[in-house]
Amino acid sequence: MSEDTLGPGHHTRVRRMPELATYDVEVINAILDEARFCHVAAIVDGQAVTVPTLHAREGSTLYLHGSQSNAFMKAVFSCATAFVSVTIYDGLRLARSGFESSIAYRSVVVVGPASQVSDVAEKRRVLDMFVDAILPGRAQEVRPLRERELNLTLVVRVEISEASAKVSHGPTQDDEDDMALPIWSGTIPAHLEFDAPVPSSDGAMKDGNVALPESLVRLYRDQR
Ligand SMILES: Cc1cc2nc3c(=O)[nH]c(=O)nc-3n(C[C@H](O)[C@H](O)[C@H](O)COP(=O)(O)OP(=O)(O)OC[C@H]3O[C@@H](n4cnc5c(N)ncnc54)[C@H](O)[C@@H]3O)c2cc1C
């Protein structure tokens, strides 16, 4: 494997529709960073379990976090290898047949060794990354993390040792025989858009004197 590629590795060879697959580091990182959340798999009490959770990437490391008392998160770093997937929904691909109909998406599967982050300074830094993964710039705006909150939180690092991406875009691939059918066929692109903010109605916010933070101003400006 070169520096620019993360696969295909032992666990990450896309078999069906391999023409949609890429192992390119830049494409994989871009999908990981745009995805709002991930799904993590682990074996808990002999059962396969998958759980949705937030993630934050830094270089070739993907971070996850959860409660110190969460059996699932503990299982993630107890397994020799962690499996994490993300998907971005990009719209509809409506063919003339149900068989060829699908959705447009970009997805990534990451595979790598997982371990617990124990160093306190690193934990603090990573937890700020999670706040920024929710909304870039927000970590600087919120009150600092308390000792108690830090102690309650488990942080897991997954080294991205191999990964695959699948990108399903473009026109539908109708059968030649179906082309003449008078059935609508085409694509409907979709994207995530934020509605107007709904301010909290409690505490200092209730008087309506707290200005919209920079991070939110940027979010609305950039989505235009
Ligand atoms: C939102 C969404 C909906 C889907 N719906 C369907 C469906 O209804 N039916 C269906 O058959 N397929 C569906 N797929 C595709 C599905 O994810 C698999 O790609 C497909 O099952 C074929 O897998 P495989 O046999 O090639 O690989 P598998 O043998 O299942 O997996 C081997 C390896 O290939 C890689 N890989 C497989 N799929 C993906 C992927 N999507 N993204 C990144 N890496 C991948 C992983 O590294 C995995 O470990 C969907 C994908 C997405 C994102």
Which CATH class name applies to 18-194?
A: mainly beta
Give 19 Cα–ligand 1 centroid separation in angstroms: 13
Ligand 1 centroid, distance to 34 Cα (angstroms): 19
Q: How far apart are CA 84 and CA 50, in angstroms?
A: 9
Ligand 1 atom nearest 165 alpha carbon: 43
Q: 196 Cβ partners below 8 Å, 6+ apart? A: none
In the DSSP assignment, the letter for residue 132 is H
Closest residue CA from atom 23 of ligand 1: 16
Which tokens sit at 140?
A: 């600087």
Q: Please, are residues 94 and 186 in contact by the beta-carbon 8 Å criterion?
A: yes
Whether residue 157 has its Cβ less than 6 Å from ligand 1: no
23 neighbors 8 (Cβ within 8 angstroms): yes
Judge whether 129 and 167 are in contact, CB under 8 Å: no
Q: What is the pLDDT of residue 41?
A: 96
- Comparing CA positions, the residue from 80, 102, 104, 77 lying closest to residue 90 is 104
d(CA 179, CA 165): 30
83 CA to middle of ligand 1, Å? 13
The Cα 138–Cα 41 span in angstroms is 29
* Beta strand segments in the chain, E: 21-22, 38-44, 47-53, 56-58, 61-67, 82-94, 102-112, 114-116, 153-159, 162-168, 186-189
Q: What is the pLDDT along the chain (224 residues), one digit of tens a residue?
A: 778 999 899 999 999 999 999 999 999 999 999 999 999 999 999 999 999 999 999 999 999 999 999 999 999 998 889 999 999 999 999 999 999 999 999 999 999 999 999 999 999 999 999 999 999 999 999 999 999 999 999 999 999 999 999 999 999 999 999 999 999 999 999 999 999 999 999 999 998 889 999 999 999 999 97
Q: Is the pTM of this model over 0.85?
A: yes
What pLDDT, on a 0 to 100 scale, did the predictor assign at position 12?
Answer: 93
Give the pLDDT confidence score for residue 7 in this predicted structure: 87
Q: How far apart are CA 158 and CA 96, in angstroms?
A: 42
Q: What does the alpha-carbon distance between residue 28 and residue 107 come to, in Å, rounded to a whole number?
A: 8
Query: Does ligand 1 have an atom closer than 6 angstroms to the CB of 96?
Result: no
What are the residue ranges spanned by the domains of the chain?
Answer: 18-194
